[in-house]
Amino acid sequence: MSSDEFPTDHPAVVTCGLPYANGDLHIGHLRGYIGADAFNRALQTLGQQSAYVCGSDMHGTPVAVNAEKDGVEPETFALEWHDQYESTFPQFNVDFDNYGHTHDETNTELTQEIVRSLDDAGYIYEKTIQVAYDPDADQYLPDRYVEGTCPYCGEFARGDECDEGCQRHLEPGEIEAPVSSITGNTAEYRERTHKFFRVSEFEEYLTDFLDDLEGTTNAQNQPRQWIEDGLQDWCITRDMDWGIDYPVDDGDTDDLVLYVWVDAPIEYIASTKQYSERVGADEYDWEDVWKRDGEVVHIIGRDIIQHHTIFWPAMLEAADYNAPRGIAATGFITIGGKGLSTSRNRAIWAKEYLDEGFHPDLLRYYLTTTGGLQQDVDFTWEAFQEKVNGELVGTVGNFWYRSLLFAYRNYGGTPSRAELPGTDGEPDIRPSGLSDEVHERIQDAIAEFGDAVNDYSLRGVGRSATELAQFGNEYIQRHEPWKLTDDDPEQAAQVIRDCVQIAKAVAILIEPIAPDTAQGLWDQLNEDGTVSETLLEDALRAPPATFDEPNELFAKIEDDEVDELTAKLDDRIATAAADSEEADTADEHGDEDAGDLEALADDRISFEEFQDLDIRVGRIETAEGIDGADDLARLEVDIGLETRQVVAGIKQLHDLAALPGKKCILLANMEPAELFGVESNGMILAAGEAADLLTTHGDAEVGERVR
């Protein structure tokens, strides 16, 4: 890794979080794959040598649990999904240089080799721990086989991750009030010997690593807090059959497989290796990237930050591999403000989108430019229509079509090219053929594009293109060339020459985000080759002298179409909500809602136990977001006898400015906890995934006890 700006002299690899091979892809998944694809294309436009690799995640309990539901072997189950993903991604122009899977030979061998080297170097030790066990099913309950309460934030958590609360990775045995997801019974804890990786030894290394890390701020800040809280060693084995066998045979642990989060990120390396072996190391050397001085960039969902900023770099360092240069963690996609839900059918499925006849570039544009990478992005068909019609049809498409049509009708192509001395019909760089204003404006756009890539801002990349097209529209409007063709033909030709150059530049700038459409413009301009292989600096290289009549490259989305799609989606969500039997398919992004109503608890508690809860009426005095935490807010709550500071996961769900003065219900004798360096002393009670805050409806006084 170098500290130079992109493009550097070293090869780069861009990866995105591996999809668990266990269910249909929806736009929540696509955001990451499209985003990483666009980033890789943008690097190449800058002149950076780069490859884009990924693979299906075949192992782990998310796959095993779903295969069991279907009554098939995990391998058969996962391979089927793997094949489907492999054919779906190209339909969205997600152009992997290699797409492997974690169960293939390359990854299995490389994983075992890396783990063996960690073991040889003394980074792995054995420890006996308490592991959840279901006595009825007579099996251990690794990861998603167990559900319960997060010990850090008190939210509902599934096995190894607190995906609805603080996003922490949970170690075996950590989950509180464990329940078996196989039988629904209370799980018991049993002693087992497992392998641990000494992550705690890497605190200093990781602190330095985070100081140098590029990408989004959430990926830099969250792990700092985890390190400050003290790193625990990491259990890297599981009591399962499905997975990669622990490679060192020492009797005690030979029935264990590696935890899925060991072999999953190693697929980034394995997939790069497969690509390198296919094209030859002369063209692209995976060892340059991973072992010498390459640039490794990971685009991931924000629910897997800990795996990529703590475990993964520690493992790479211990095994003598390169550290990632950049990690960008995306926010989630919501629909109409609500989390995507497979069980409630609240999603736009990849196949569904294409079946509706929309071009993939429209979705690519929407998903990459609607918010910053780390922001949550809301999808509605109306918002989609507004963005497509406003920015792509109204600004980019309109400018392209009107300028090329005018150029074609009046000049048969780019005007007065033949009149310029010394061009001889060869393409040349001729800023002199452009007006100073346009030459400078395109130079600015080129600089904005480069800055955006170095800031990991896809929205910035998109903006460099749309704002240049916007300028083009204003420019043509300001100069009214249609009035000049007779009176001042030279000036008319100048304006149109400028506009054709702007159109070409916009095509190069927008290619990472809308590759097909950019190629369409490229072909209309009669340019040679592909726009995807064209460098940014070519935005100032003269376009061909002649081209044919242009077509409109974007089509407007009509209101009735949107009404119909919205009705269809609403209807589907309503139908699914009514059908509470529908199975919930878990996925990588953790963007599930709580599903249908939770089953009532079987275990009754006594009145005395209830009385142990000291629940009070409170009044919120202040409410503010906690820096660096996506979801958490710090509240001060007056409970009569004193004022409590409380941390609540409501930052995205409530207008914090509107909360002061509101009454709430607070569990006062909750154990204090520290979240993002802020002490939480009590718990605000709230209902459902929208965190609807509980309150009183009469005149109960602040401080009164709830009984």
Binding residues for Zn ion, rule: CB under 5 A, are: 150, 152-153, 155, 162, 165-166
Q: Which of 404, 406, 396, 415 is nearest to 525 (CA)?
A: 404
Task: Give the rounded distance of the alpha carbon of 330 from its chain centre.
Answer: 4
Residue among 153 and 508 whose Cβ is closer to Zn ion: 153
User: Which DSSP state fits 582?
Assistant: P
Residue with Cβ nearer Zn ion (11 or 165): 165
Backbone CA torsion sign across 347, 350, 355, 359:
positive
Nearer CB in complex with Zn ion: 7/151: 151
> Contact, 588 vs 19, CB < 8 A?
yes
Q: In angstroms, what is the minimal distance from the CB of 309 to Zn ion?
A: 17
Judged on CB neighbours under 10 Å (0-12, 13-18, 19+), 600 is exposed
User: 226 vs 246, which CB is nearer to Zn ion?
Assistant: 226
Number of helices (H), then strands (E), belonging to the chain: the values are 21, 27
- Return the number of the residue (158 or 195) whose C-beta is nearest Zn ion: 158
Q: Are 180 and 702 in contact (CB under 8 A)?
A: no
Shortest approach of Zn ion to residue 165 CB, angstroms?
3
- In the chain, the amino acid numbered 682 is G
- Beta bridge partners of residue 666, listed in sequence order: 616, 684
Q: Which is nearer to Zn ion, 162 or 314 (CB)?
A: 162
The conformation of residue 598, written as its DSSP 8-state character, comes to P
d(CA 510, CA 399): 14
Closer residue to Zn ion in complex, CB, 41/158: 158
Residue pair 495/475 in contact (Cβ under 8 Å)? The answer is: yes
What's the closest the beta carbon of residue 366 comes to Zn ion, in angstroms? 31
Backbone angles phi, psi at 330, to 5 degrees: -85, 155
- For 627, the 3-state DSSP assignment is coil
135 or 677: CB nearest Zn ion: 677
Token pair of 610 as six digits: 């209830």
Sheet architecture: strand order including 156-158: 156-158, 146-149, 176-180
The answer to whether residues 295 and 12 touch, using CB atoms and an 8 Å cutoff, is yes
- In the complex with Zn ion, which residue's Cβ is closer, 295 or 630? 630
Residue 244 token pair: 């990669």
Shortest distance (Å) from residue 147 CB to Zn ion:
13
In whole angstroms, what is the distance from residue 234 CA to residue 662 CA? 42
Nearer to Zn ion, 152 or 406 (CB): 152
The three-class DSSP label of residue 482 is helix
Min. distance of Cβ 467 from Zn ion in angstroms? 41
- The least CB distance from residue 224 to Zn ion, in Å, is 18
The span from the CA of 192 to the CA of 496, in Å, is 75
Residue number with CB closer to Zn ion (154 or 512): 154
Gyration radius from the chain CA atoms: 28
Alpha helices, H only, 195-333: 203-212, 217-228, 260-279, 286-287, 305-306, 312-318
CA distance 96 to 575: 37
- Rounded CA-CA distance 372/239 in Å is 40
Least distance between Zn ion and beta carbon 639 (Å): 24
Least distance (Å) from Zn ion to the CB of residue 626?
Answer: 14
Q: Which is nearer to Zn ion, 153 or 404 (CB)?
A: 153
Q: How far is the CB of 683 from Zn ion (least distance, A)?
A: 13
Angle between helices 260-279 and 105-120 (to 10 degrees): 120
Q: Closest by alpha carbon to 242, among 18, 55, 73?
A: 73
Q: Which is nearer to Zn ion, 49 or 306 (CB)?
A: 306
Closest approach of Zn ion to the CB of residue 622, in Å: 24
Provide the minimum distance between the beta carbon of 593 and Zn ion in the complex, in angstroms, as a whole number.
17
Output the smallest distance, CB 459 to Zn ion, in A: 30
Cβ-based nearer residue to Zn ion, 285 or 591: 591
Q: Which is nearer to Zn ion, 139 or 225 (CB)?
A: 225
- φ, ψ for residue 508, nearest 5 deg: -70, -40
In whole angstroms, the minimum distance from the beta carbon of 694 to Zn ion comes to 20
Residues with Cβ within 8 Å of 282's Cβ and at least 6 positions away in sequence, in order, are none
CA distance 298 to 306: 13
Q: Which residues have C-beta within 8 Å of that of residue 88, sequence separation ≥ 6?
A: 25, 350, 351
The minimum distance between CB 318 and Zn ion, in angstroms, equals: 27
Minimum distance between the CB of residue 632 and Zn ion, rounded to whole angstroms? 11
Please state, in angstroms and rounded to a whole number, the distance separating the CA atoms of residues 508 and 514: 10
- Residue 422: CB atoms within 10 Å: 7
